[in-house]
Amino acid sequence: MARTSRRARPIAVLVILPPVILSLVILPLVVGPTRASASSGARATDWTAPVWPVRVTRAFDNPEHDWLRGHRGIDLRTTPGTTVRAAGDGRVVFAATLAGRGVVVVDHGALRTTYEPVAAEVRPGDRVRRGARLGRVSPGSGHCGTGRCLHLGLKRGRVYLDPRLVLGRATAVLRPW
């Protein structure tokens, strides 16, 4: 087995350490923050809140298994008649009453957002831009049935995600050692 000289070790550290430090410090400044996961391909500027101001009244609670109880989205405080806007650019794939409440689903490519209860002003197939009007908060059934909240959901395929990822409320933070 070959042994490295004592002189080679400091040189190796000097060669390897600067690029590592550079990638940890400079790269985040150049790339900038994102509000969605990197695998979704979304940037911070791609998303907006569907209602304003953003006040989460019930948080995301994804169960360990699909068949268990949980809260697969977030509830945003609102009032009946409040305008609901598309969180991002996409295509409406569902806009109808389901189980007594109006539901709108927008396909954003890798992600889908769901909004309920909403009296839809869009139809399936409509292309929408970020901030475009989808409808108004309406009374219906379910925990947001009074119209006092908007339930916002986010999915990638069959996996439910915390919608705060696209609202900038769930961010990863690096902390010093």
Total H helices, total E strands in the chain: 2, 11
- Least confident among 58-72, 79-93, 107-121: 58-72
Contact between 153 and 72 under an 8 Å Cβ cutoff? The reply is yes
pLDDT digits (tens, 9 = 90+) for 94-145: 999 998 899 999 999 999 999 999 999 999 999 999 999 999 999 877 778 7
| CATH superfamily membership of 44-167 | Glucose Permease (Domain IIA) (2.70.70.10)
Residue bearing the bigger pLDDT, 13 or 52 = 52
pLDDT value, residue 81: 94
65: pLDDT strictly greater than 60: yes
Phi first, then psi: give them for residue 50, nearest 5 degrees: -75, -25
| CA dist., res. 107 & res. 91, Å (int) | 5
